[in-house]
Amino acid sequence: MTAAATVFRGAGRVWLRDWTVWRHVARWLLVPSLLDPIVFLVAMGLGVGSYVTSVDGGTYIAFIAPGLLMSGVMYQASFETTWNIHFKLEMRSTYASMLSTPLEPADLVLGDMLWGATRATITGAIFFAVIVVAGLVSSWWALLMPIAAALVAVDFASMGMLASAYIKDMNLYAYYYTVVIVPMFLFSGVFFEITNLPAWAQKVAWALPLFHGATLSRQLATGAVGASSLVHAAYLIVLPLLLLPPAVRRMRARLLG
C-alpha cells in the first residue's frame, strides 16, 4: 500500500469516527447551524431589500442568497476545525488517544478536515434546498451550487486546521474570527458587489476564498456562467493543496515534538 493510500485509509477512519459521533446528535445541531444564514437572509433580504429595488436585474434577496449559502458553509467548517479541534487537542486528549493507535498526525489532520468539510456541506445543501424552494435561483446551473459549497467547505476546513495547529490558547481563536473570518463575511461580496469598494479593497477581496465562493455561487444561481467561473473554481481547488502540507507539518511537530 502506498503512503498516500495509507494516509487516506487512516483519514477515513478518523472521518468515520466523527460521523458516528455527530450522527447521534445531528438533530440538535442542524437547526442552530441553519438559523444563522436564514436569519440573515430574511433580515437583510426584507429589510435592506425594501430599499434596494434591483441588483443585476433581480431582487436583493435573490442577490444575497447564494453568498449567504457560502458564508454559512464558511462558518460551519471554521467552527468544526477550530473550537472542536482545540477540545480534541487540549481538553479531551482525543488526539493523544488516537496517536496510541497506528494513526499518524497526517491522518488526524486530513480526516478532521474532511469531516469539517462534510458537516459544512450538509448544512449548505439544506440551505440550498431552502433557497430553491423560496424561488431564489433562476438557472439549472444552480444544481452545481452544492458542489461549489463543498469546495468552499474544504477551503475553510483547511484554514481552520492550519490555525488550530498553531493556536494553543483557545482565547486566541477570537483573533482568528475577528481578523480573518468576520472581515471576509463582510467584504467578500456577499451583501454587495465588490465594485463598490475602492480599487485596493477590490484587490484584497480577490484574494479571499469567500469572494470566489460567493461569486461562483451567484453565477451558478443566475446562469451567468463563463470563463471567470473556472477561475473561481480553480482558486477554491488549489487553496487547500497549499494549506494542508504546513498544517500537517505543524500538527506533527506539536503532537510528537
pLDDT of residue 176: 96
For range 33-61, the mean pLDDT: 78
Neighbours of 8 (CB within 10 A): 18
More confident residue, 41 or 133: 133
More confident residue, 41 or 161: 161
Residues 190 and 68: their CA atoms lie apart, in Å, by 6
What is the per-residue pLDDT across 54-92, written as a single tens digit (0 to 9) for each? 777 788 889 999 999 999 999 999 999 999 999 998 888
Question: What DSSP assignment string belongs to 38-58?
Answer: HHHHHHHHHHGGGT---BTTB
Domain ranges, residue 101:
3-256
Averaged pLDDT score across all residues of the chain: 91
Question: ∠242-248-250 over CA atoms, to 5°?
Answer: 105
Q: What is the DSSP letter of 103?
A: -
Residues 241 and 95: their CA atoms lie apart, in Å, by 23
User: Is 4 a residue whose pLDDT tops 70?
Assistant: no
Contact 77, 120 (CB under 8 A): yes
User: Is 41 a residue whose pLDDT tops 90?
Assistant: no
What is the per-residue pLDDT across 204-231, written as a single tens digit (0 to 9) for each? 999 999 999 999 999 999 999 999 999 9
User: Measured in whole angstroms, how far is the alpha carbon of residue 57 from the centre of its chain?
Assistant: 28
User: Is 47 a residue whose pLDDT tops 90?
Assistant: no
Min mean pLDDT across 28-42, 64-78, 140-154 is at 28-42
**Domains of the chain: total:** 1
What is the per-residue pLDDT across 230-240, written as a single tens digit (0 to 9) for each? 999 999 999 99
What is the per-residue pLDDT across 80-123, written as a single tens digit (0 to 9) for each? 999 999 999 888 888 989 999 989 999 999 999 999 999 999 99
Question: ∠51-58-77 over CA atoms, to 5°?
Answer: 90
Q: Which residue has 442568497 as its cell numbers?
A: 65
What is the per-residue pLDDT across 182-201, written as a single tens digit (0 to 9) for each? 999 999 999 988 988 899 99
Q: What region, left, alpha or beta, does residue 125 occupy, with left being phi > 0 and alpha being psi -120 to 50 degrees?
A: alpha
Neighbours of 64 (CB within 10 A): 28
Predicted confidence band of residue 23 (pLDDT cuts 50, 70, 90): confident
| C-alpha dist (Å) from residue 257 to 84, 187, 244 | 22, 39, 19
Predicted confidence band of residue 40 (pLDDT cuts 50, 70, 90): confident
| C-alpha dist (Å) from residue 192 to 15, 139, 150, 154, 187 | 36, 21, 23, 24, 8
